């Protein structure tokens, strides 16, 4: 009974740590919306500005404001020779509404919104926000990808705890971790990437996509740990090393250095899509 409770405790700890990493990944990446609030005319105005959106449709801005508050909206394609397009927005039923022009997959737009109350200006952000457009990924691909990747994290943490405590199931847990990473990262991951950005792989040696690079680095270290344990099941060092690499990888915000279109390499006369 004591051993069962200890094992259950280790699994619970692994799940909790995975949850913490999942929240960190979701809230720190460059695609997480920018939220905040500003006080205008004694009222608190809350806003959420998107940094990721599906292709084929404009990304909406919709903010409830006090009576008499309007806005100035400006935007241009990211990494382009475009001039800023500036639009004066009059509130409709006390709501500021605007649309960020959609782009092809991996296309980005930088934009900034300032609320106006008479001569007073309230920029919602100090610097322009960058939004990236992506192809829609079907749930039947995205859901298992997320499942396998996060449960690879659960099993990875659990494996390292098994190794540190010198328990007997390190090799079996390592094998499961490698399988989960292979399916989630090297099979489903490229499929997700293909749907989102029309490319199966944009990491090394063809690109700098950190998500792809992080995935292959994690898999290599866990594969080495599995090979070492296969030769010697008493080897407890490599599973811990692989887990430390996995933690370092998950501490890098998701979608950093992701796929993007560099319009400065195209014709300067190419205009933003409307």
* Residue 177 near residue 41 (C-beta atoms within 8 A): no
Q: How far apart are CA 211 and CA 206, in angstroms?
A: 13
Residue 31, preceding peptide bond in cis (omega within 30° of 0):
no
38 CB contacts (<8 Å, ≥6 apart)?
Answer: 44, 45, 47, 115, 122, 124
**Residues 95, 96, 100, 101, CA torsion sign:** positive
Q: What is the DSSP letter of 187?
A: I
pLDDT of residue 229: 94
pLDDT of residue 208: 67
pLDDT of residue 263: 82
**Residues 124, 129, 135, 141, CA torsion sign:** negative
* Residue 264 near residue 80 (C-beta atoms within 8 A): yes
Quote the pTM value: 0.84
* Concatenated DSSP letters of 26-71: HHHSTTSPEEEEEEETTEEEEEEE-SEEETTSPEEEEEE--TT-EE
Please give the domain boundaries of the chain with CATH numbers for all domains. Answer: 2-29+137-250 (no CATH), 34-134 (2.60.40.10)
pLDDT of residue 234: 85
Region at 256 (left for phi over 0; alpha for psi -120 to 50; beta for the rest) = beta
Per-residue pLDDT of the chain (274 residues; tens, 9 = 90+): 778 788 899 999 999 999 998 888 878 878 899 999 999 988 999 999 999 999 999 999 999 999 999 999 999 999 999 999 999 999 999 999 999 999 999 899 999 999 999 889 999 999 999 999 999 999 999 999 999 999 999 999 999 999 999 898 999 999 999 999 999 999 999 999 999 988 888 777 666 677 788 889 999 999 999 999 999 988 889 999 999 999 988 888 766 656 778 888 765 444 444 3
Q: How far apart are CA 62 and CA 84, in angstroms?
A: 21
DSSP SS3 for 7: helix
Q: What residues form DSSP beta bridges with 70?
A: 116
Q: How many residues does the chain have?
A: 274
Beta-carbon count within 10 A of 128 CB: 17
């Amino acid at each position: 009974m004591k051993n069962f409770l200890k094992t259950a405790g280790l699994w619970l700890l692994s799940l909790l740590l995975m949850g913490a990493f999942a929240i960190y990944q979701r809230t720190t990446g460059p695609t997480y919306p920018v939220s905040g609030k500003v006080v205008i005319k004694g009222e608190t105005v809350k806003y959420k500005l998107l940094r990721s959106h599906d292709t084929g449709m404009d990304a909406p801005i919709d903010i409830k404001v006090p009576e008499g508050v309007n806005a100035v909206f400006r935007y241009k394609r990211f990494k382009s020779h475009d001039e800023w397009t500036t639009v004066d927005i009059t509130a409709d039923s006390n709501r500021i509404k605007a649309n960020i022009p959609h782009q092809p997959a991996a296309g980005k737009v930088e934009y900034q919104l300032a609320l106006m109350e008479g001569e007073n200006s309230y920029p919602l952000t100090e610097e322009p926000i960058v939004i990236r457009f992506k192809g829609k990924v079907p749930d039947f691909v995205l859901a298992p990808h997320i499942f396998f990747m996060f449960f690879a994290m659960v099993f990875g943490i659990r494996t390292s705890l098994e190794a540190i405590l010198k328990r007997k199931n390190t090799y079996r847990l390592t094998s499961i971790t490698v399988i989960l990473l292979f399916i989630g990262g090297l099979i489903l991951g490229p499929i997700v990437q293909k749907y989102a950005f029309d490319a199966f792989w944009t990491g090394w040696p063809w690109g700098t996509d950190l998500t792809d690079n992080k995935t292959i680095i994690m898999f290599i270290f866990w594969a080495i740990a599995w090979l070492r344990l296969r030769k010697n099941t008493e080897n407890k060092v490599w599973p811990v090393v692989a887990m430390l690499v996995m933690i370092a990888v998950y501490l890098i915000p998701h979608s950093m250095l992701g796929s993007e279109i560099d319009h400065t390499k195209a014709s300067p006369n190419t205009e933003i899509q409307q």
